[in-house]
A and B are shown apart, each in its own frame.
Chain A
Amino acid sequence: MIHSLFLINHSGDIFLEKHWKSVISRSVCDYFFEAKEKAEDPENVPPVLQTPHHYLISIYRGKLFFLSVVQTEVPPLFVIEFLHRVADTFQEYFGECSESVIKDNVVIVYELLEEMLDNGFPLATESNVLKEMIRPPTILRSVVNTLTGGSNVGDTLPTGQLSIIPWRRAGVKYTNNEAYFDVIEEIDAIVDKSGTTVFAEIQGVIEACVRLSGMPDLTLSFMNPRLLDDMSFHPCVRFKRWEAERVLSFIPPDGNFRLMSYHVSSQNLVAIPVYVKQNISFLETGSCGRLEITIGPKQTMGKMVEALMATIHMPKSVLSVSLTASQGSYTYDITTKILIWDIGRLNPQKLPNLRGSLSMQTGVPKPEENPSINIDLKIQQLAISGLKVSRLDMYGEKYKPFKGVKYLTKAGKFQVRT
């Protein structure tokens, strides 16, 4: 299966390599660099490459390439999914997944990789199990370790692998028992020039943060589970129970995890919280353009729209912009040609407006297409689909946990064509 792993940074340096079978020379990456040159944009590097003797499967995460080498037939998604799991694990251990952080913790990274794969086949990928074998670094512990020469490796050998519940470590103890659930929904939409919705759907996730002692058995039920159209679950969720009763019954992993992700049927009408009035035009003569954008509330369910932001990828020929924003501030990055207007809270009384002129490169024909506007926003305390958690029950433990549910609506891939 997975033969070797190379971590490559944005500028193309290999800064970490790990081999699970015999060593493969890093020159194999040259094929990858070639493809990377060709693709220009790192996102456009083909995830699967064929070389004379190997296959290279890579992902791009946090400005890093995770490049794995395989020699024989293997489902590509298997490798891709695993590489993402590796990146997730780094993120969980070190707070972020970047070159500097990996270099600082290279020993832990190496130990993790050693546990996660055996002969190229995934061995332990559950973070609860891994954390028991290799402790994540904390500031305190690294200071103590420096002084005493202590280690990050767990003193006791793990039991998690063999417990009936592989995703939960045994013997969890907390003084404050808490369980928090965040219902986060994202609106994916394409709105066309005239303001009609071409396509809209809601994707939701329930992120959980469960810190409960012992082996709690939780049941989460919804007021209106029928809204959910398609979903995927964390392995802890009892699928049969969901099928039969439409309740989520599970023994949670310890800590943060994604309980489920769901999709609200696109047959339902999706409420679009804001409308965008825009007028972007590039003049044929005089090498300049005009831009005017106004954003107003549409269907906000009476809630406040916050963290509103508009991002526009300008055509290459736009050299600079001079705009005035009635609210918030804007930045224009000359190298990436990205205009970001950070609006903040949407005031329904006084609609935010951005207007001004764009100066264009002279001698270049005017762009044919107007750039589309990507909208970001947040609405607290609202799940736009109307999904509501009705209750959370805990069985199996005696204490009374503290429970909390939070709702949040965000814009996902919300695009306004102009």
Chain B
Amino acid sequence: MSTAALYNDQGAAEAAVEAGQETTPTSSSSGAAFGLFSTDFKKNEDLKEMLESNKESLKLEAMKRIVQLISKGKNASELFPAIVKNVASKNIELKKLVYVYLVRYAEEQQDLALLSISTFQRALKDPNQFIRASALRVLSSIRVPIIVPIMMLAIKEAAADLSPYVRKTSAHAIQKLHSLDPDQKEQLIEVIEKLLKDKSTLVAGSVVMAFEEVCPDRIDLIHKNYRKLCNLLVDVEEWGQVVIINMLTRYARTQFLNPNINESLLEEGSGGEKMFYGSDEDEDEDEKEKKAEAAAIAKRKPYVMDPDHRLLLRNTKPLLQSRNAAVVMAVAQLYFHLAPKAEVGVIAKALVRLLRSHSEVQFVVLQNVATMTIKRRGMFEPYLKSFYIRSTDPTQIKVLKLEVLTNLANETNISTILREFQTYIKSMDKDFVAATIQAIGRCATNIGEVRDTCLNGLVQLLSNRDELVVAESVVVIKKLLQMQPEKHSDIIKHMAKLTDNIQVPMARASILWLIGEYCEHVPRIAPDVLRKMAKSFTNEEDIVKLQIINLAAKLYLTNSKQTKLLTQYVLNLAKYDQNYDIRDRARFVRQLIVPTEKSGALSKYAKKLFLALKPAPVLESPFKDRDHFQLGSLSHLLNAKAGGYQELPEWPEAAPDPSVRNVEVKESVPEWTKCSSREKRKEKKVEKPFYSDSEGESGPTESADSESDSASTTDSASASVSEESESGLESESEEESETEEEEEDKKEKKNQKKEPKKPVQESESEQSSEEEDRKPEKRSKKLKSDSESDSVEDEGSESESSPSESEDFESEAVVTKKKKAAESKPPSKSVRKEEKKEKKEMSLLDLDDFEPTPSPQVTPVNTLLSNSLATDLEGLSLSDSILSPATIIPSGALKNYELLHRITGEGLSVEYCFSRQPFSPDANMVAVQLQFTNNSTSDTKNLHMEDVRLQSGMRVKEFPEIELLPAGEMTSAVMGIDFCDSTQAANFQLCSHTKKFFVSIQPPVGELMRPVFLTENEFKKEQGQLMGMNEITEKLTLDVKCRNEHAIVQRVTTAANLSRVPCGSDKECRFAGRTVTSSSLVLVTVATREEGAAQLMVNCEKMVIGTMLVKDILLALTQ
């Protein structure tokens, strides 16, 4: 019922009819209706009455009808006073509908709207976060300038709200306020700055949106949050991802160097050389020198990708798998604009996938693909067939696919493409056929080999029945003929005949032009054509008339004997034409070609003017040069700058200081762990050239190359069916190159032990960012691990034995610990710091000393009891930190994780647990106990590890090979992994004499630390220094079974490898530990209140570890 269209101010009768339609059958009140209020006040009264009644249901009914009115775009503003009263209603639905109304009409009824403000102000203080949020939403949507200060205040408060949902709403409100009153910009930027620091994934997308809207040029606000945004990206909701990725693309363009810079420089260089050989020496000398210099510079300063640049590329890549087309497109454009040439290929597959989606999505994607194919044709070549056209595609899609196919055409595939084009030409969709003909023309100009074939094909089309097809062919043939006219006079003759039949002006004009241009080739026909044209001159279209004049002029110049009269006739006709262009042209031509007394000078040159050689046209894609617009943007699609479009900046000449992105570390952090990253960075910078010089010239260059290579091959590998093994190897090489820097550092460390701290800090700076991106995974891992332990129960006997055994092992460990404790000297607080330092060095020494001779450790028990040299040394050299946990190791069973299921392992099953023992060969490693069970009927031999794939900085100490595992037996082994304080998985191959299995070990965050002993005072002091961003507090309700102190202690220590810190109050439990690799302090406090309410506080310098740990402990305490 198109009431909207029907409705006019026509009177009550029609209004009543309409009313009958509009009132819902349920409306109990009456059949009395409403309509346009200016014409029918009574119906208005009816609604007003309903609104003012005491019955909620009546009010609701009225509001529903009003919303219906609004949805139809009708005016309901007169009801404002009656409605605004209900803003404080308790009924949620009524309230929501009132909000809808308010947002729609407040602008028009500003004074009355103010009545509702106080309600919102009250709601902003509501304990329920959703009420606070919705109050802010509506308040900020009321576009009334007078409340700007109130809004400002509300936004500021909400930005500091505890609930991330409210903070998200405040980010939205920023944009609303900005559009209402741009003068508030400065203050709003402050709020944005604050919200950018927010760690919640909920907020990130919205605040970046606000940033883009309010202050997109304040790129400096992003620096400090760059790494965080990169790492959060995977967890942000999909819409936020799009906005963040687009913003980061722009950011990266300002901050990093062009990854393809070397390539372009070298290309230029070689180009210069060619020129040099080809041309005069002196001329190019300077230039050549310059080029050579550039090339030399390029060689001397190999491009090394900024780790932050790499971080962005790495973290966006998984999003190509998103179900949201906008996200995929955003990543694709990011890769297109930012990635090294060799890596861009990965996006092709994802983009081709989008072609399966709705036709609108296809339309946009194809536009972008068309632009991409011009620059990087190779990328889409393997997917050529995916762009084949179906007869059911909408025309606009067909034309775009054609464009892509044309761009993809090259010598090798042109025959396939032309065959495909042949079927298209027969299509019923004539617009499409026309586009196909143009496409053929373009293929023919671009690829010389097929020019004749195409031309012949097109000539055949000239006999097509459809005029449109013929016309288009003529136009294209004209362009092709221009390239080599002398060979094709018969085609021109053929076309001359067509003038009798073809009516399409463009085609006629093209033919005439051709004949005129090449009249020497067709000396007989040309005058005849002119004769015919002269006859029909008055009936022709303008563009044909112009060409007739042209033809006449050219013939007059070449063959004036035959055509003099005809030309004059034509010029006379033109002289009186209606169109002034034609009159002008005729006058001009006449003066030029017909010699008179006055015009002596010019007519001499007439021949030169008219019969000059015209360059053949270049048929170009309309998508050429579109890529100066950011791909995927509206501006790109329209090929015109849209309002609010932010230009994609050019790459900078030299990279700006990368240290601006380093996140500040609090001064209070203990000295030995403090990462004075800024200095560090600079130091690194200085050192780099030194290394690249001394350690083989091309070292780093190669690394950059190999990196990109491997990335591209990984991609293709994953396309092939047998990807697993290949990609395994390749990604290793990638990591290798990434870690190269660090390796170098390690080398240095070996050589110059004067700076023993360095490598640790180095790796730290990178890790801290890396860790954050483990977060999502972490969460899932946690859940998984829980569930897995469940599954253990389910699966029954097979795995039942393992927990008990690990318990045994536990107790044994305790014994040894105690033994060690007795041996070691008592810790003294005053020298602790120094000891720590010393310890660091010791551990390094350990590494050097023991690496060549792997300590014989078959089982952990063995190691610990045998008191090998390693353990001895450690026990002597170490401070309290390792010894203290012995007293408080959790009594609960250690969690077992499955490494290899017995089905996938074909009889061999492997489980692992984090034994929480110090790993003797290297204190920076976490000990992982593996338990092998051979469930098969045959023996397994030579169990060992191979092909270890690690994230940068991580190290693994392999377990000694197990020679023989008889059928039905089990055995265990210990390996060490330095996770670098991240929850990155360590991937490796587990090999037996016959099989190889891909496995990975991933630590829960709680296993990345070791217990440390602190006194209450120390604890408080350290805690005091880890405030602010380093402190995370979370309220929780304790599980019923977990309300006593003992239970809490047990659960926390199970979740994380921490030791208890003595505490005066029985309401508080405190725990302390240090991360294994970087020795950052981790402090946990659980404060209990009445009825299971509790507060969890984690202080850790490493925020990522902190947040992950909070999640884990929360889970442990609440479940």
Which residues of A line the B interface, CB within 8 A? 1, 11, 13-19, 21-23, 26, 41, 43-44, 46-48, 50, 55, 58-61, 70-78, 80-82, 84, 103, 106-107, 109-111, 114, 118-119, 121-123, 125, 146, 148-149, 151-155, 157-158, 161-162, 164, 166, 190, 192, 198-199, 201, 203, 215, 217, 226-227, 229-235, 238-241, 243-246, 249, 251, 258, 261, 263, 265-268, 313, 315-316, 365, 367-369, 371-372, 374, 393-396, 398, 413, 415, 417
User: Using an 8 Å CB-CB cutoff, how does the interface string of B788-814 with A read, 1 for contact, 0 for none?
Assistant: 101100000000000000000000000
8 Å CB contact of B780 from A26, A111, A241, A258: A241
Q: Which of A44, A107, A365, A415 has most B Cβ within 10 Å?
A: A107
Cβ B238 vs Cβ A235 within 8 A: yes
Q: Which of A121, A240, A263 contacts B239 (CB 8 A)?
A: A121
Q: Most A CB atoms within 10 A — which of B58, B464, B779?
A: B779
- In the complex, the answer to whether A75 meets B130 with C-beta atoms within 8 Å is no
User: Which of B58, B175, B318, B780 is within 8 Å of A249, CB to CB?
Assistant: B780
B73, B202, B643: most-surrounded residue (chain A CB, <10 A): B73
With A and B bound together, what is the CA distance between A16 and B330 in angstroms? 31
B1054 interface residue per 8 A CB criterion: no
B360 touches A417 (CB 8 A): no
Q: Is the CB of A233 within 8 A of B323?
A: yes
13 sampled A-B residue pairs with Cβ under 8 A: A22-B143, A73-B634, A77-B632, A107-B68, A109-B71, A110-B70, A119-B141, A158-B130, A198-B388, A232-B323, A245-B1000, A371-B428, A394-B787
Q: Which residue of A lies closest to B783 (CB)?
A: A217
**CB distance A413 to B390 under 8 Å?**
yes
With A13-B2, A240-B318 known, 11 other A-B pairs at CB within 8 A are: A16-B71, A44-B396, A47-B364, A50-B638, A76-B634, A106-B67, A149-B57, A157-B131, A198-B388, A229-B349, A368-B464
Partner of A76, one of B55, B97, B364, B722: B364
CB-CB contacts below 8 Å: B84-104 with A: 91-94, 96-97, 99-100, 104
Given known A17-B71, A266-B385, A365-B465, contact A75–B396 (CB-CB < 8 A): no
User: Would A110 and B325 count as touching, CB distance under 8 A?
Assistant: no
- Looking at A153, A233, A268, the one whose CB has the most chain B CB atoms below 10 A away is A153
Judging by beta carbons under 8 Å apart, are A153 and B465 in contact?
no
Most chain B beta-carbon neighbours within 10 Å: one of A26, A74, A82, A84? A74
Q: Which 7 A-B pairs have the closest CB atoms?
A: A395-B787, A149-B57, A72-B644, A151-B93, A369-B426, A153-B93, A43-B394
Give the interface centre of A70, A151, A233, A258 by most chain B CB atoms within 10 Å: A151
A15 to B644 alpha-carbon distance, docked (Å):
31
CB pair B388–A80 under 8 Å, yes or no, is no
**Assembly CA distance A217 to B783 (angstroms):** 8
Q: Assess the A125–B360 pair: CB atoms within 8 A.
A: no
- B721 lies within 8 A of A81 (CB): no
| Cα-based distance from A234 to B324 in the complex (angstroms) | 9
CA distance A81 to B363 in the complex (A): 12
Interface hits, B937-958 → A, CB 8 Å: none
Stretch from B162-170, B868-876, B886-894, B1071-1079 at the A interface = B162-170
The reply to whether B396 and A73 contact each other, CB–CB distance below 8 Å, is no
Q: Report the minimal beta-carbon distance from B97 to chain A, rounded to whole angstroms.
A: 7
Smallest distance from the beta carbon of A318 to chain B beta carbons, Å? 11
Chain A residues, Cβ within 8 Å of B330: 75
Given known contacts A46-B396, A82-B239, is B780 in contact with A151 (CB within 8 Å)?
no
In the docked arrangement, what's the CA distance between A101 and B524, Å? Answer: 72
A374–B2 CA distance with the chains assembled, in angstroms: 36
Q: Which of A73, A146, A249, A263 contacts B635 (CB 8 A)?
A: A73
Candidate in B323, B386, B777 with the most chain A CB atoms within 10 angstroms: B323
Which of these, B388, B721, B987, contacts A227 with CB under 8 Å? Answer: B721
Q: B-side binding surface: helix, strand, loop or mixed?
A: helix
> Is B242 positioned at the interface, with any CB of A under 8 Å from its CB?
yes
Q: Determine the distance from Cα of A123 to Cα of B239 in the docked complex, in whole angstroms.
A: 9
Q: Smallest Cβ distance from B405 to chain A, in angstroms?
A: 12
- Alpha-carbon gap, A23 to B71, bound state (A): 12
Q: B68 contacts A73, CB within 8 Å? A: no
B720 to chain A minimum Cβ distance, whole angstroms, is 8
A415 contacts B321, CB within 8 Å?
Answer: no
Q: Which residues of A contact B464 (CB under 8 A)?
A: 368
Residues of A within 8 A of B719 (CB): 229, 265, 267
Tell yes or no: B438 within 8 A of A by CB: no
User: Do A75 and B246 touch (CB < 8 A)?
Assistant: yes
For A247, the closest partner residue in chain B by CB is B904
Within 8 Å CB of B365, what residues of A?
77
B491 cross-chain contacts in A, Cβ below 8 A: none
From B128, B137, B350, B356, name the one whose CB has the most chain A CB atoms within 10 angstroms.
B356
Please determine whether A14 and B68 come into contact, CB atoms closer than 8 angstroms: no
Identity of the chain B residue whose Cβ is nearest the Cβ of A109 in the assembled complex: B71
A-chain residues with CB within 8 Å of residue B358 when the two chains form the complex:
59, 61, 80, 84
Q: How far is the CA of A11 from the CA of B365 in the complex (A)?
A: 29
Is there an interface contact between B644 and A230, defined as CB atoms closer than 8 Å?
no
Is B735 part of the binding interface, using a Cβ–Cβ cutoff of 8 Å? no
Chain A residues, CB < 8 A from B39: none
* B391–A313 CB distance below 8 A: yes
B residues engaging A (CB < 8 A)? 1-2, 4-5, 26, 55-58, 60-61, 64, 67-68, 70-73, 91-94, 96-97, 99-100, 104, 107, 128-131, 137, 140-141, 143, 163-165, 169, 172-173, 175-176, 179, 202, 206, 209, 234, 237-239, 242, 246, 318, 321-326, 328-330, 349-350, 352-353, 356, 358-361, 363-365, 385-386, 388, 390-392, 394-396, 420, 423, 426-428, 464-466, 632-635, 637-638, 640, 642-646, 719-724, 777, 779-780, 783-784, 786-788, 790-791, 985, 987, 998, 1000, 1111
A48 and B5 within 8 A (CB): no
Task: Give the chain A neighbours of B324 by CB distance below 8 A.
Answer: 81
**In the assembled complex, which residues on chain B have CB atoms less than 8 Å from the CB atom of A372?**
390-391
**Beta-carbon contact of B321 and A107 below 8 Å:** no
Contact, CB under 8 Å: A367 / B93 = no
Contact status of A369 and B987, CB under 8 A, knowing A72-B643, A118-B137: no
- Which A residues are in CB contact (< 8 Å) with B777? 238, 240
B321 touches A110 (CB 8 A): no
User: A13-B5, A77-B326, A239-B321 known; A59 and B360 CB under 8 Å?
Assistant: yes
- Whole-angstrom distance between the Cβ of B123 and the nearest chain A Cβ: 13
Residues of B within 8 A of A15 (CB): 2, 4, 72
Chain A: minimal CB distance from B1030 (Å): 22
Residues of B within 8 A of A367 (CB): 428
- Which single residue of chain A is at the shortest CB-CB distance from B130? A157
Query: Bound complex: CA of A125 vs CA of B73, how far in Å?
Result: 25
CB-defined contacts of B179 to chain A, threshold 8 Å:
21
Measured in the bound complex, the distance between the Cα atoms of B234 and A201 in whole Å is 30
Is B61 touching A76 in the complex (CB atoms < 8 A)?
Answer: no
Contacts of A365 in B (CB 8 A): 465
Write out the residue numbers on chain B whose beta carbons fall within 8 Å of the beta carbon of A149.
55-58, 60-61
CB contact under 8 A between A151 and B428, given known A46-B396, A110-B67, A110-B71: no
Shortest distance from the beta carbon of A341 to any chain B beta carbon, whole Å: 17
On whether the beta carbons of B721 and A234 are closer than 8 Å, the reply is no
- If A26-B73, A111-B96 touch, whether A233 touches B392 (CB-CB below 8 Å) is no
A368-B465 in contact (CB<8A): yes
Which chain B residues border A153 with CB–CB below 8 Å?
92-93, 96
Which residue of chain B lies nearest to A200 when distances are taken between CB atoms in the complex? Answer: B385
Within the complex, the shortest CB–CB distance from B376 to chain A, in Å, comes to 19
Q: Are B390 and A190 neighbours in the complex by a CB distance under 8 Å?
A: yes
Q: Are B1000 and A244 interface neighbours, CB within 8 A?
A: yes
Q: Pick the contact of A119 from B172, B353, B783 — CB < 8 Å?
A: B172
Answer whether A76 and B323 are a contact pair too, CB < 8 Å, given A47-B360, A106-B68: no
> Which A residues are in CB contact (< 8 Å) with B359?
43, 60
Give the chain B neighbours of A103 by CB distance below 8 A. Answer: 1
Closest B residue to A74 using CB positions: B634
Cα of A284 to Cα of B70 in the assembled complex, Å:
60
User: Do the beta carbons of A77 and B356 come within 8 Å of each other?
Assistant: no
Residues of A within 8 A of B107 (CB): 22-23
